[in-house]
Amino acid sequence: METVSFLCSPCINEESSNTASDAISFCFECIEQVRIQEKELFKQRNNLENISKFCSDDVTFLCIKEIERLFRNKEAEIERILTEPNRTDLTINGIEEVKAFLMSVEKLEIEPSKKHTPDDNITLSPAQLTVHSDTSSISNARFILKELIDIAKMGVKESVIIDCTIFKSGQIIAIEKKHTCLLEFFSRGKLNRNVRISSQALGIAAIDDNLFALTDSGRDTVQIYDKQRMSSILEVSIRDHCSGISKYSNSNVVVGCHAGGLVLIGKNGEKEKVFHTKKLMHLNQNICLTSNEKGEIFCSFSKSDSILSIDSRGKLRFTFENGKLRGPRGVKGDGNDNIFVSGYDTNNIVWISNDGKKSKEVLNSNNGIQNPRGIEYHKTLKILTVCNYSGSQLSTYSMQ
């Protein structure tokens, strides 16, 4: 009867000069060598995955994806070698393939090319180009407390409301940080829904009557939510810790990131533009922001007690610093291209003109402002909502 050998070529030679058990042992050593090399491949793959995870440059990211693709092709070949029962050249071909691939990985050099982002790749509408700022009507207005919502009385103990958004119906959706949830209030302050979310959100902005967006800092994503269902319908990966968010136009939102500055995201999830303004890069802090109809963006930085504004091309417009505004948090437009900013440490709300040259305190502790966080202003309804008392209350003020 013919004997079928499952030994590789070197082991067959070994079998001819030694006992069968020694030859089999020698073959097992060959297989073990392949397994060791396979483990090295897995280490290389893990390293590549880690690089891919933290890589923020688009070109480098694509290069790494190509490496991963090549690796998977080689991985399939190794698996085929190991599972083919009649393979007699396991030691020779298998090891050589592994060595060749590892050498190709070691020699590979990634040289990211400099990617130029055109300054004019965002087209503003004629309305955005012709809007003029009004610095008188809001700055001279008075705000009267209209509604005070005590979150604890709604059944949410030790709440920390950090941001909110208002719809034209007067409906408010707020981010509650301590319990990781979204709170929905009717126009008269009645709590309608308390919806748990998967991870911590930091910023929220209404897109239209049916949609809103929030930044998911736990997963480095932007989530587009259906307001009626109060559930996410689209997840956009930012690959950077994101915080503040604001509606930029009818088709996109602008997001503040720790390392990568400001990113413009379309409603369908596409990354339309990155504002590479030097003073906005690698800040490693949360950015609260808002934008106006001109495409100008305003950012608040609590660590430096400053407000920064850029134009639609990313060019720095002004930096605002004033002793009457410390620990700035929430920032929202007043509907006339100027902004409101909450001062967490100064217990006030400050109005700042579009050019940053004028400012006025419109609300303070005498009006019930205490450690305000996020704020929201609705131009049509003429109401200003403040995440007040370190987020334990929502205070709504009407403009007179």
DSSP secondary structure string for all residues of 327-352: SEEEEEE-SSS-EEEEETTTTEEEEE
Q: In which residue are the tokens 């300054």 written?
A: 119
**pTM here?**
0.67
Distance separating alpha carbons of residues 324 and 14, to the nearest angstrom: 87
Task: Give the pair of three-digit tokens for residue 316.
Answer: 């720095």
Mean pLDDT for 100-110 is 50
Q: Which of 16-20, 31-35, 180-184 has the highest mean pLDDT?
A: 180-184
The pLDDT tens digits of the residues spanning 20-38 come to 555 455 556 667 777 777 7
Phi, psi of 79 (to 5 degrees): -65, -40
Distance separating alpha carbons of residues 22 and 10, to the nearest angstrom: 12
- In the chain, % helix, strand, coil (3-state, to 5) comes to 25, 35, 40
Look at residue 48 and tell me whether its pLDDT is greater than 90: no
Count of Cβ atoms closer than 10 Å to residue 358 Cβ? 13
Q: What is the pLDDT of residue 31?
A: 72
Task: Give the pair of three-digit tokens for residue 379.
Answer: 């131009």
Distance separating alpha carbons of residues 179 and 195, to the nearest angstrom: 10
Distance separating alpha carbons of residues 54 and 195, to the nearest angstrom: 31
Distance separating alpha carbons of residues 248 and 294, to the nearest angstrom: 9
